[in-house]
Structure 1
Amino acid sequence: MTNLTACFTPFSQSIDNTVLPEKFTFPFYYQPQPIAIAAALQLQQQLEQLPISYSEAFTETKAEQVSSGKMFGVLVVKSSQDNIGFLSAYSGQLDLDVSMIKFVPAVSNMQLQDSAFLTENRIINNINAEITVLENSQQLSRIRENLNDATIAYQQALSSQQNQIVLNRQQRKQRRTVASEQLTDNDAERLSIELAGQSIQEKKQLQALKQSGQKNLESLHQALTDITDEIDKLKKLRKSRSKNLQKKLFAQYDFLNANGETKDLNAIFAELPEHTPPAGAGDCAAPKLLQYAYQHNLTPIAMAEFWWGAAPKSAIRQHKNYYPSCYSKCQPILTHMLKGLKVDDNPLLVNPAQGKDLTIVYQDSDMLVVNKPAEFLSVPGKNIEDSVYMRIKTQFPQASGPLIVHRLDMSTSGLLIIALNKRAHKALQKQFIERSIEKRYVALVSGNVVEDNGTIELPLILDFDDKPRQMVCYERGKHALTTWRVLERKNNTTRLHLFPKTGRTHQLRVHCAHKLGLNMPIVGDDHYGLKADRLHLHAEYLSLSHPINHCKLEFEVAADF
């Protein structure tokens, strides 16, 4: 095994009785294979032995050392001599010394080792420094202040003179009226000529003020433009050089697949609408692991990625939990790298609603209320059409309009309102917009909630790097508010009533799981916690006004957990 020992780690315990999977892990939705879990546990033991263990370093109390945790990955491999072991990797960069662990190297070290890259990077950094100096210069600040003061002074002087002209015009008009009544024709004519001269003189003074003020402002504007044009010129130069440097860098990320084919990042992302790879593409754990395996004639068997340490501020990550590869960075890369491997089928292509019935709780000529099972789409998805919408459309062919008034997550069960005509849909939608419809959910969360009730207010936004997961974002997130009340604490789980006051995607799931919320994921939440038999979240109660006759309607269906 030439050079194999550099990163190949044998299992410390016997795996003779462990069955190897027939197909490689589908990386975007999976349950780790036992052999991959064994590898992950062995890596975690190594992490705990570091001088500053990651279990300690990635905690709130050690925030001065490390801001948050890190995603790690293991790849179980077989050598050409049929030796079974695993490779280890981490996503991105690490600030701590981990030399005692045999992590695979980065796919490209151009940023660290290539002299031409480093030289160009220094040039770009120097341009950044020039821009910073200009943007923060006293000269620019003084010009902007002078321009602002001069603009205000000019507008005030102009307004004052224009007001005076209006007042003088009114006075001249009054004098002409009096002159026509009291003076002789000759005297009135002389006065009229005099007053006309005053009007002309005032117009000349106003014109002079405008010319002088505008000339001063133009001079200040030009001084400002001279600096801002230089800043814009530097920014365009920076953008051009950065783009060229990025292309050179991306070209160094040359990824193999099981067929021996290679593609760099530029080629991989050229086929996608965005064309340009996102920052950090190619530095995640999974591509590193597969690249090393292919380069060293190792056959990939199974993989798993887990989070180690404290959660980041925005996204939800639980210590030691397993997570799929991200879509924005890894999906295009891994699609190429997995070619030639026998990979598990994509479970997201399997219809989860097959064999499940949609129970109608209430029905009249205008609306329905149904009890949606868990793992049942509200509307057709990208790959699966079977949904509440399609079932209702088939069962009620006479129904018109959009049908669906609101949605439940695929994994959430419970009450869902359907409009059978456009008029009912509009009236029901108005109630949702005005938040006059009362909704109550029941959920089981992992852990014992200390307080008996409370409020969670965390703004949410789609995690574009890890769709469809949501994350907390105070800058760009949409307002999301949930109140809650404890029903029962039992066996280290808490049964809750949840009352969403807004209707954001994954709102209840994130508000329960996030460290600034309950910090306890809903049982069975495979996005923000641990997978179980189902997501233990159920929309059990609805109160609304009938869309046509306005009678109050109440519905309640108990959860089956």
Structure 2
Amino acid sequence: MLHDFFQAFKTDISSISLPEKFTFPFYYEPHELSILATKDLQHYLETQTNFIHNFGLQEAQEGLVIGKMFGVLVCQNQEGQLGYLWAYSGKLAESNEHLYFVPPIFDMLPKDGFYKIEEEVVNGINREIEALENATDYILAKENGKTTQEKAAEDILKQKERIKTLKAARDQRRKELSNNLTTEELNKLELELSEESKKESILLKKMTKYWNYKIEAAKKEIAVFTSQIKVLKEIRKQKSGELQQQLFDSYAFLNQAKKIKSVGQIFDNNPPAGAGECAAPKLLHYAFENDLKPIAMAEFWWGQSPKSEVRKHKNFYPACRSKCEPILAHMLDGIVLEDNPFLENPAAGKDISVVFEDDYLAVINKPPEFLSVPGKNVIDSVAKRVKVLYPTATGPLIVHRLDMSTSGLLLIAKSEAIYKELQSQFIKRTIKKRYVAILDGIVSNDEGVIDLPLRVDLDNRPNQLVCYEHGKQARTEYKVIERKDGKTRIHFFPISGRTHQLRVHASHSLGLNCPIVGDDLYGTKSDRLHLHAEEITFFHPIVKENITIFEAAEF
């Protein structure tokens, strides 16, 4: 079936040079061949009639709206011919197999496959459990058990109250008669009262014994069913575990050396949901299985964006980190990749400039693509530079941060006392900051407020998600400065300071729905991120007056 999936380019590619290295999948500029393959796939998606799927691109289309990641892999067959493969992440139109798209690494959907067969066994056990749990005799037995417990508690409580009442009456009787009785009569009375007390206590014990017997009998009736349910649940657990392990073993990935690693081996039998179902692993696995040489790869989003994250129709995106990175580390082993930009120092050849300083603090202007503090792989940062710039400073120096891609003003403390004073102002939100940005699109309102809570995307750090359940409050005020040539120049006034707050608030469909120009995470990459922290106002702890520093953006 190779001819169904390995397709020739629709246009002449003879003048296009092949890339020297394969695409680094987690940060890349699509190669010209990948772009052509993508255009062919997107044209097919716009015109095809082979399946029906609601991507959210047509009004009033029935069905749940589900946008999709698609991928293309440019590859070369053994005859040296260039072509490409197509794939999608997960299922498409409730199916794993479609014309022109490579098959899944493992298809769980065929009815005669082990997964569906064993799944039906587990479902059969579920039905047995459900039948037992809903059986009339079981329901009656549970009701009887509950009623018996309630009656027992009520009966025993009444007897205990009766014992208290009779004891109080005996005490009163003893008190009233004791002064008028002889010793012999008094002893006789005490014996009589004691016998009455013993009788009531014996009755309580008999009642307790009776009700314990009734409760145990009711429990045995219930246990006839619960013991069967427990056995079935244990069998289900065992079957589910065996099925899961078989599934882990079946999701096995090839690399160019034809070495196989299962998803269970890669993730130590604890893979994240959906691992192995993304487009990139599907494309590479099929290529290696059919002796095709990978040349370049790209992935893009098709359809409406999910409500929580930012996905723009037709935009290219990198492979996800949590699911794909461990898998692709195996699959791309031995293949020469483009340089990993995360290992490069983005600040190389750049300098920070001092905009304002005195004996206590400073304000510096950070260039774009320059870390505020040392990262996981790169140490060079504003924090390192200012330690060199101010070797005698005793404070932590860095008071706040800017995203690596954002340029602009950063406040520096030269002593710990000044650091604490400025930090307190940030915590109390008395420090005012103004950012300027250019957005890729027209914002209709002249001003307004964006209020979208944010949290990190655990599957794709450092991206942020809009999350009303677990997100932290994030609030941004904005004011439009200029609209020109399909772009909007805007001022942002962040009330809170969440990671990527302005970038997500600008690009998200529930925000301004206009990504910042050059945003490689939430929009489209350009020469730089057009976001600059141009003004900051703070209260000087020593001078005791507000100070405003301004530095114009270079865009």
Q: What TM-score do you get using the length of structure 2 for normalisation?
A: 0.83
Query: Aligned runs of 1:163-178 on 2, under 5 Å?
Result: none
Aligned equivalents of 1:321, 1:120: Cα separation in 2: 40
Residue 125 of structure 1 aligns to which amino acid in structure 2? N
Identify the range of structure 1 (460-469 vs 543-552) with the bigger mean alpha-carbon deviation: 543-552
Alignment-derived partner of residue 19 in structure 2: 21
Who is 1:190 aligned against?
Answer: none
Match of 1:243 in 2: 241
Matching residue within 508, 514, 517 for 2:511: 517
Note closer, same or farther for the CA distance 1:395–1:335 as it changes in structure 2 (3 Å cut).
Answer: same
Match of 2:170 in 1: none
Whether the 8 Å contact between 1:70 and 1:308 is mirrored in structure 2 is yes
1:480–1:503 contact (8 Å) kept in structure 2:
yes
Deviations 1:8-52 (CA, angstroms, capped at 9, x unpaired):
110111111111111110111000000110000011111111228
SS state of the match for residue 71, structure 1? strand
Quote the sequence identity (%). 49
Q: Distance in 2 between the 1:539 and 1:132 partners? A: 61
> Following the alignment from structure 2 to structure 1, what is the Cα–Cα distance between the partners of residues 57 and 496?
32
Deviates more, 1:350-359 or 1:234-243: 234-243
What is the alpha-carbon distance in structure 2 between the residues aligned to residue 258 and residue 368 of structure 1?
A: 54
Is the 2:111–2:117 contact (alpha carbons within 8 Å) kept by the matching residues of 1?
Answer: no
What is the CA-CA distance between 1:326 and the residue it aligns to? 0.6
Is 1:435 aligned with 2:429? yes
How far does residue 354 in structure 1 lie from its aligned partner after superposition? 0.7
Maintained 8 Å contact 1:449/1:494: yes
Contact 1:305 1:324 in 2 (8 A): yes
Residue 361 of structure 2 aligns to which amino acid in structure 1? M
Distance in 2 between the 1:218 and 1:355 partners?
82
1:454 equivalent to 2:452? Answer no
- Which of 292, 297, 311 in structure 2 is aligned with 1:317? 311
Among candidates 353, 357, 366, match of residue 351 of structure 2: 357
Q: Which residue of 1 aligns with 2:380?
A: 386
Distance of 2:481 and 2:210 partners within structure 1: 76
| Residue equivalent to 1:280 | 274
Q: Quick one: distance in 2 between partners of 1:366 and 1:230? A: 76
Residue identity matched to 1:122: E
Deviations 1:150-183 (A, max 9, x none): 9999999999x99xxx9xxxxxxxxxxxxxxxxx
1:525-540 counterparts in 2 under 5 A? 525-540=519-534
* 2:248/2:262 contact within 8 Å kept: yes
- Is 2:449 the counterpart of 1:444? no
1:420-475 per-position Cα deviation (integer Å, ceiling 9, x unaligned): 33322222222222222212211111111111112211121211222211111222
* Structure-2 residue corresponding to 1:487: 481
Shift of 1:91: 0.7
Give the distance between the partners of 2:392 and 2:128, measured in 1 at CA: 68
SS of equivalent residue, structure 1 residue 10: coil
Q: Indicate conservation of the 8 Å contact 1:443/1:497, yes or no.
A: yes
Q: Give the alignment of 1:223-242 within 5 angstroms.
A: 238-242=236-240
Instruction: Report if the CA contact (8 A) 1:54-1:309 is conserved.
Output: no
- Residues 54 and 65 in structure 2, CA contact (< 8 A), matched pair in contact too: no
Equivalence map 1:247-286=2 (5 Å): 247-270=245-268, 275-286=269-280
Q: Which residue identity lines up with residue 90 of structure 2 in the other structure? A: G
List alignment gaps of at least 5 residues for structure 2: 165-196
Give the conservation status (yes or no) of the 8 Å contact 2:481–2:491.
Answer: yes
| 2:62 equivalent in structure 1 | 64
The Cα offsets for residues 200-219 of structure 1, whole Å up to 9 and x where unpaired, read as: 99999999999999999999
Tell me, in whole angstroms, the C-alpha distance in 2 between the residues paired with 1:554 and 1:222: 79
The alpha carbon displacement at 1:250 in A equals: 1.6
Distance in 2, Cα, partners of 1:394 & 1:136: 74
Which stretch has the larger CA shift, 245-254 or 115-124?
115-124
Against the structure 1 CA distance between its residues 54 and 551, is the aligned structure 2 distance closer, same or farther, given a 3 Å change threshold? farther
1:336 to 310, 319, 330: 330
Flag the 1:135–1:415 CA change in 2: closer, same or farther, 3 A: farther
Distance, in Å, in 2 between the alignment partners of 1:142 and 1:438 is: 68
State the SS of the aligned residue for 1:9.
coil
Report how far residue 116 of structure 1 moved: 3.4
Q: Which residue of 1 aligns with 2:9?
A: 11
For residue 414 of structure 1, report the CA deviation from its aligned partner.
Answer: 1.1
CA RMSD of aligned residues (A): 4.3
Instruction: Give the one of 99, 105, 108 matched to 1:107.
Output: 105
Between structure 1 and structure 2, the one with the greater Rg is 2
Judged with a 3 Å threshold, the aligned counterparts in structure 2 of structure 1 residues 445 and 225 are, in CA distance, closer, same or farther, namely farther
Q: For residues 207 and 356 of structure 1, do their structure 2 counterparts lie closer, same or farther at Cα, with a shift above 3 Å needed?
A: farther
Residue deviations 1:367-408, cap 9 Å, x none?
322211110111111110001111122322333454332211
Amino acid at match of 2:418: A
| SS of residue paired to 1:112 | coil
Q: CA contact under 8 A between 2:538 and 2:547: conserved in structure 1?
A: yes
Q: Equivalences for 1:28-427 in 2 at 5 Å?
A: 28-51=26-49, 57-59=55-57, 61-62=59-60, 64-95=62-93, 101-112=99-110, 115-128=113-126, 238-270=236-268, 275-427=269-421
Q: Does the CA contact (< 8 Å) of 1:446 and 1:521 recur in 2?
A: yes
Query: AA paired with 1:545?
Result: F
